[in-house]
Amino acid sequence: MKSVFIGSGVALVTPFRKDGSINEEMLEELVEYHCENQTDALIICGTTGESATLSEEERLFCIRRAVEFAKGRVPIIAGTGTNCTQTTVQLSKEAENCGADGVLVVTPYYNKPTQRGLIAHYGKIAENIRIPIILYNVGSRTGCNIEPETVAQLMKNEENIVAIKEASGNISQVARIMELTEGKTDIYAGNDNQIVPVLSLGGKGVISVLANIAPKEVHKICENFLSGNIKESCALQLKALPLIRQLFCEVNPIPIKKALSLMGKDVGGLRMPLLELEEEKERTLARIMCEYGIELSGEGNIWLT
């Protein structure tokens, strides 16, 4: 299979109304914003989209609407991973029926399967859908690491398992995956501060939190690197580091939702147990966004005086 996408995929937030329901109009606005600002793929209902507190019906609603709003302009990748194989299979099948171009499937969390269990889990999903599957490795959240040998076996045995979002932070692990798969695996950086390092090992791009507020800039980091302008790509990566750090001063997606609000995008609050960003951290976030060149409005006006 060809790559699901190359470049910058945004890990899109899920916008809520004041009553906590999905804000469909804002979802459409966000999809349009990214289609117009060089984002190369939209990842719906992933970690940044608060998938852990979305019902199955809400997930499918967001996926279906994102496909409709995008109108084929960019790939839509649906986050369908859960810690139950049967549920993940069902969500993945329904995402395919909704028109998603691929699925992003996080390792099962809390129940901590063995590597054999992961092979069986992902194998079962692959049996039931035809669209591409992107593995998602983020052990800091799930307590479960996909070992490089497991990735290589899945890539070899399952035709539609084509890529991995590597958010372990372990660059040596990225290199080992590339070694074991002879460079034939599409790897996407799962951490915004490691886009260039992952690309340097043959990665295809990033699934980015930063791209929610700086879509053109993240696209340019990837585009420059992949076109051979390594120096400019590195410069853009380094410039973004202070903002990236502040976007993770509290657990994602707390800061990125606040950042969008500071830009005047009414994405709403967070579902508990996540709470709003602390005021002092918001002040720092607003300052760093301005220094990076992002224009504030809406909630951001309070920090402009």
Q: Which residues are tagged catalytic?
A: 136, 165
The conformation of residue 107, written as its DSSP 8-state character, comes to: P
Q: Among candidates 7, 47, 44, which has minimal Cα distance to 188?
A: 7
Q: Among candidates 159, 152, 204, which has minimal Cα distance to 179?
A: 152
Q: Among candidates 25, 112, 22, 32, which has minimal Cα distance to 70?
A: 32
> Can you tell me the distance from the alpha carbon of 157 to that of 168, in angstroms, rounded to the nearest whole number?
23
Retrieve residue 92's tokens.
Answer: 């993945």
> Can you tell me the distance from the alpha carbon of 83 to that of 195, in angstroms, rounded to the nearest whole number?
28
> Can you tell me the distance from the alpha carbon of 303 to that of 197, in angstroms, rounded to the nearest whole number?
34
Give yes or no for a contact between 77 and 11, defined as CB atoms under 8 angstroms apart: no
